[in-house]
Amino acid sequence: MSRQKVLELLRSCSEEHLSGEEIAQRLGLSRAAVWKAVDALRRDGYTVEAKPGLGYCLTAAPDALTEAEIRGFLGETAVVGRELVCLDSVDSTNTYLKKWALSGAPDGTVVTADCQSGGRGRMERVFQNPKGKLVALSALMRPPVPLERLTSITAQTAVALCGAVEEVCGVRPQIKWTNDLVIEKRKLCGILTEMALEGESGKLQYLVIGIGLNVHQTPEDFGPELAEIAVSLDMALGRPVSRPALAAAEIRALDRLYADICRGDVAKYVEEYRRSCVTLGKTVQLIAADGTRETARALDIDDDFGLLVRLEDGTERTVRTGEVSVRGMYGYVD
């Protein structure tokens, strides 16, 4: 507790030096407790400068998905993020949180991990999560709303995350239908939404939103199969980006989304999705569950986030499930 208080004070004073005596007085601690807290912060990777006659100053913080670092950027939230668990390693943040949800995890609980050994995307695709490179985050929601309000939650989450990335990086990603965030036609982020219903009542038991956002990867981290279709924020921007700042922005965005779901405020997400959707106006392939493919032109997004397409024979259809491959992206050429 002393460590966290000292960290918050040093962070709030930015480049100002504070003497050990002043820190002790402000926080109601002993000088020995202040020294131990500073020593603990240094062991955790913080750079705390100490100058004789001036005192302590926090000059650098680790790029770590720890509760202290994330909360340092987070601020107050209404629901999402009030309970925050930061793991060093886990098979999957979604799997971890689903198990916890069944035993009573509080509404709004967020789990992050520095490394995932079994991260999953849509259709059970496994994705790589090298240590210290990505923001892996899952949020538990139990909004007291009819189930029909949750049918488009993944698309709404994509819009919310575009805002979170823009807030931290100054660059707004686009969205490939239905739930991929892309920059420069390459995949930046994936979203996996899973929910469970009560057997007898059919009411929502839990909803878990899982997010994997590429931050520090290099082309070598992606490997030969993904290097041409995936991108990280560092690669796109040409500079390093703070993972805890991104995690905090994601949590705030999900907290706002939770409130909008409860209010039934969906229209603004549909409007923003249309503006951000890189799929519109493009030639696409519709890939059915059995692997059959149809070529079409993507025309519009309807009010339920369905993709309106025109097939080669001139007929129009609204696609709500399945895979849609966009020509010129992710290796699709013909």
DSSP 254-319: HHHHHHHHHHT--HHHHHHHHHHBTTTTSEEEEE-TTS-EEEEEEEEE-TTS-EEEEETTS-EEEE
- Report pLDDT for 334: 64
Q: How far apart are CA 139 and CA 157, in angstroms?
A: 11
Model confidence at 129: pLDDT above 70: no
**pLDDT tier for residue 312 given thresholds of 50, 70 and 90:** very high
Domains, the chain, in order of start with CATH, read 2-60 (1.10.10.10), 67-276 (3.30.930.10), 283-326 (2.30.30.100)
- Report pLDDT for 154: 96
- Percent of the chain whose predicted confidence (pLDDT) is above 90: 78
Model confidence at 164: pLDDT above 70: yes
* Closest to 246 (Cα-Cα) out of 137, 157, 140: 137
- Report pLDDT for 256: 98
Model confidence at 72: pLDDT above 90: no
Among the ranges given (1-15, 75-89, 178-192, 301-315), the one the predictor scored with the smallest mean pLDDT: 1-15
Model confidence at 126: pLDDT above 50: no
Model confidence at 258: pLDDT above 70: yes
Q: How far apart are the two ends of the chain, measured CA to CA in Å?
A: 59
Model confidence at 176: pLDDT above 80: yes
Angle at 38 between CA 35 and CA 41, to 5 degrees: 150
Q: How far apart are CA 274 and CA 174, in angstroms?
A: 10
Model confidence at 153: pLDDT above 50: yes
- Report pLDDT for 14: 74
**In this structure, what token pair is assigned to residue 146?**
């009819």
**In this structure, what token pair is assigned to residue 132?**
């210290």
Cβ burial, residue 124 (10 Å; 0-12/13-18/19+)? exposed
Q: Is the distance from CB of 303 to CB of 153 less than 8 angstroms? A: no
- Report pLDDT for 3: 86
Model confidence at 4: pLDDT above 90: no
